[in-house]
């Protein structure tokens, strides 16, 4: 039977960059897509599938507080510099769910866009920052 107290509460999720807790990030996700090639199987109508490669993608959403990360991402616009590549650490640590605690390190993170500026009168500014990554490590 389901123990409802063990379901994970996203309120305890945290995002870290360079060891610093990004307190403004209120939502994050990371997913790895398994890419496959179709393989014809002789003597049947069924198509088999061969896993070929992986694609990591995600996003983080939070309150706009500073432009520090945007400035790092924007270095790609300088023809003398390359893309900003970094690591992010995601943590979900619900105190009611000792089995659901998880830390994940995302490797080779590159951001998909440069969050320059957005706003709406009378509204707190939220910023969504999509990214890709080239590996991950489950830390717990």
- Do the beta carbons of residue 128 and residue 59 sit within 8 Å? yes
In the predicted structure, residue 8 carries a pLDDT above the cut 90: no
Q: What number of other Cβ atoms are within 10 A of residue 22's Cβ? A: 18
- Domain of residue 16 covers 4-138
pTM to 2 decimals? 0.88
Task: Tell me the CATH number at 91.
Answer: 2.30.110.40
Phi and psi, residue 12, nearest 5°: -100, 15
If one counts the domains in the chain, the total is 1
pLDDT at 96: 83
Mind listing the pLDDT tens digit for each residue in 105-136? 999 999 999 999 999 999 999 999 999 999 99
Mind listing the pLDDT tens digit for each residue in 23-71? 899 999 999 999 999 999 999 999 999 999 999 999 999 999 989 999 9
Long-range contacts of 15-19 (CB under 8 A, 24+ apart): 15/60, 15/62, 15/88, 15/89, 15/90, 15/91, 16/88, 16/89, 16/90, 16/91, 17/69, 17/86, 17/87, 17/88, 17/89, 18/86
């Amino acid at each position: 039977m389901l123990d409802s107290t063990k379901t994970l509460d996203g309120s305890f999720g945290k995002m870290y960059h360079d060891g610093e807790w990004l307190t403004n990030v209120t939502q994050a996700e990371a997913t790895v897509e398994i890419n496959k090639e179709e393989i014809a199987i002789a003597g049947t109508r069924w198509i088999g599938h061969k896993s070929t490669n992986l694609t990591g993608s995600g996003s983080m959403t939070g309150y706009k507080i500073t432009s520090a990360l945007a400035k790092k991402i924007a270095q790609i616009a300088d023809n003398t510099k390359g893309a900003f590549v970094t690591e992010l650490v995601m943590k979900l640590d619900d105190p009611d769910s000792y089995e659901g605690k998880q830390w994940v390190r995302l490797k080779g993170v590159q951001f998909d866009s440069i969050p320059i500026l957005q706003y709406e009168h009378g509204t707190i500014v939220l910023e969504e920052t999509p990214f890709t990554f080239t590996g991950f490590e489950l830390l717990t």
